Amino acid sequence: MAYTKIHAIKATVDKAINYICNPEKTDEKMLISSYACSPETAAIDFKYTLDHCRENGPNKAYHLIQAFAPREVSFEEAHQIGKELADKVLEGKYSYVVTTHIDKGHIHNHIIFCAADNIEHNKYHDCKQSYYHIRKLSDELCKAHNLSIIIQGGERGKKYKEWQSDQNGSTWKTQLRRDINFCIKSASTYEDFLLLMRAKGYEIKGESFEESAAKYISFRPLNKERFVRGSTKSLGKEYTKERIREHIEKKRERKAVIPKKDYSARRLIDTSDEKFRSSPGLQRWAAIENLKIAAQSYNEVGSLSELEHKIAVKTEAGKSAKQSVVELEHSIKDLAEIIKYAEQYKDNRSYHIAYKKAKNPDAYFRRYESQIILYDGARRVLEQAGIKLKGLNVDKLRAEYQALETQKKELTATYKSCEKEVWNLKRK
């Protein structure tokens, strides 16, 4: 589970970066990363980009915080998630510094990024929609890393202390609800449900409906000291033993009244729904049903083997195009960084030359410190990337960047078209 918030920095970018890079908070600076800048000179780097910005406005940078539930994620994994979030939100266009603070009870990431992008020098627009986009991306990353997420409720979100107070000691309750829901979907009887829950490692008491039985069913997960009641107050009204049994019985009743269907009139079952992802049993059922539906489509496409061939070809084409888009995104991100440093190199080269020729190098350096530092840093990055400095052509690099963006759009359209065609073939 991760909580996110973002605010603009209108001044003292250097102080903000120094704060988030505090070695006492970042495991002696082991949990610090950056993109298209160096943490030590990020404030200077940001200023350079902002000086080329075409838009007016007070915002110099943005400070994004991503906080995790206590004891749910390791230091290294939290830092990796922070980098992935920065890459997804900023798409390789904005310079950033990401750090992970481990000095508090909850691990949290700090991401400070320049308010202007490195390609077009346009300002980042912070609004409600962009915030919800950030939160959505954060939730997706939490899912990918098998972490819990905050259930969306339409609000901007609670302050972290308030949210932490609500969630402290109860993250495992969220997992308990998920396990109960899964076992209800998979079970045919209440006894099956109990068996499945126990198979997941839960200790159960009070499950009986006898008069002498406890009022509430209670569950104790592995490595937990206490039970949690299946009551309205603890888990919610849908998790009492009465409601659990009712859910299972209603499912059986619905299944009993469903008549045998004519598969020729059926459409393919969409297994992308959440209920299928969380239930292997439902996945197996849907796979069998879809095979039956596809088998009755042979008259419309010539033969079943022809249908399967068409589906296989389009599926593979879509898969390949999607993978190419992923690879292109990495190339686009790398090239954006090169463009940014190429511009810095060319714009500040004259200061480097003058510094070398200055009668009083120390005085000249003090006067043009930022420009000289930016030049040296850019030259080092470009040389390491194998870029030839002689005859460096920024316009050519920008044209290459636009060509990659165009290719990405074309491939994106390709895999989406293939996915649509596969869907239509399966629906026939």
Name the band, by pLDDT with cuts 50, 70 and 90, for residue 264.
low
Residue 91: predicted pLDDT:
93
Q: Where are the domains of the chain?
A: 2-167, 171-257, 263-296, 306-427
What whole-number distance in Å separates Cα of residue 104 and Cα of residue 108?
9
Percent of the chain with pLDDT over 90: 39
The letter for the amino acid at 217 is I
203 beta partners: 220
Q: pLDDT tens-digit profile of 223-262? A: 567 898 998 888 889 999 999 999 988 876 765 555 545 5
Give the SS3 label for residue 215. coil
Most trustworthy range by pLDDT among 75-89, 201-215, 226-240, 254-268? 75-89
Angle at the Cα of 112 from the Cα atoms of 107 and 117, rounded to 5 degrees = 145
Least confident of 59-68, 177-186, 315-324: 315-324
What whole-number distance in Å separates Cα of residue 4 and Cα of residue 126?
14
Residue 180 CB contacts under 8 Å (≥ 6 apart), including other chains: 197, 219, 230, 235, 239, 244
Q: Give one DSSP letter per residue of 29-67, joined into a string.
A: TTTEEEESS-TTTHHHHHHHHHHT-SS--S--EEEEEEE
Least confident of 17-31, 126-140, 262-276, 383-397: 262-276
Torsion, CA 229, CA 232, CA 238, CA 243, rounded to 10: 70
Residue 299: predicted pLDDT:
47
What whole-number distance in Å separates Cα of residue 220 and Cα of residue 226?
6
- For β-strands 61-68 and 32-35, DSSP reports them as unpaired
**Between residues 302 and 13, which one has the greater pLDDT?**
13
Least confident of 131-135, 177-181, 208-212, 224-228: 224-228
pLDDT above 50 for 161: no
Rounded to an integer, the average pLDDT of 334-361 is 92
Name the band, by pLDDT with cuts 50, 70 and 90, for residue 164.
very low
Q: Are 147 and 10 in contact (CB under 8 A)?
A: no
What whole-number distance in Å separates Cα of residue 248 and Cα of residue 423?
32
Q: Are 263 and 292 in contact (CB under 8 A)?
A: yes
Q: pLDDT tens-digit profile of 358-399? A: 888 888 888 898 899 889 888 988 998 888 899 999 999 999
Name the band, by pLDDT with cuts 50, 70 and 90, for residue 162.
very low
Least confident of 114-123, 300-309, 328-337, 344-353: 300-309
Residue (of 423, 417, 428) closest to 302 by Cα position? 428
The tokens for 138 are 């954060």
| pTM for this model (two decimals) | 0.54
Percent of the chain with pLDDT over 70: 80
Q: Are 59 and 6 in contact (CB under 8 A)?
A: no
pLDDT above 90 for 165: no
User: What is residue 116's DSSP assignment?
Assistant: B
Residue 63: predicted pLDDT:
93
8 beta partners: 62
Name the band, by pLDDT with cuts 50, 70 and 90, for residue 85.
very high
Rounded to an integer, the average pLDDT of 63-75 is 84
pLDDT above 50 for 174: yes
> What strand order describes the sheet that includes 218-220?
203-205, 218-220, 228-229
pLDDT above 90 for 35: yes
Residue 156: predicted pLDDT:
36
Residue 171: predicted pLDDT:
66
Q: Are 114 and 94 in contact (CB under 8 A)?
A: yes
Architecture of domain 2-167 in this structure: 2-Layer Sandwich (3.30)
The letter for the amino acid at 108 is H
What whole-number distance in Å separates Cα of residue 61 and Cα of residue 8?
6
Residue 384: predicted pLDDT:
84
Residue 321: predicted pLDDT:
73
Residue 411: predicted pLDDT:
79
For tokens 């989406």, what's the residue? 416
What whole-number distance in Å separates Cα of residue 116 and Cα of residue 182?
46
Name the band, by pLDDT with cuts 50, 70 and 90, for residue 93.
very high
Which strand (E) or helix (H) includes residue 204? strand 203-205
What whole-number distance in Å separates Cα of residue 334 and Cα of residue 35?
10
What whole-number distance in Å separates Cα of residue 154 and Cα of residue 132?
9
Name the band, by pLDDT with cuts 50, 70 and 90, for residue 62.
very high
Mean pLDDT of the chain: 82
Name the band, by pLDDT with cuts 50, 70 and 90, for residue 341.
very high
> What's the start-to-end Cα distance of the chain, in Å?
41
Phi-psi region of 222 (alpha: psi -120 to 50; beta: other; left: phi over 0): beta
The letter for the amino acid at 338 is I
Name the band, by pLDDT with cuts 50, 70 and 90, for residue 269.
confident
What is the chain's Cα-based Rg?
A: 28
Rounded to an integer, the average pLDDT of 26-30 is 89
Residue 158 CB contacts under 8 Å (≥ 6 apart), including other chains: 3, 166
Residue 187: predicted pLDDT:
77
Estimate the share of the chain in helix, then strand, then coil, as percent rounded to the nearest 5: 55, 10, 35
pLDDT above 70 for 285: yes
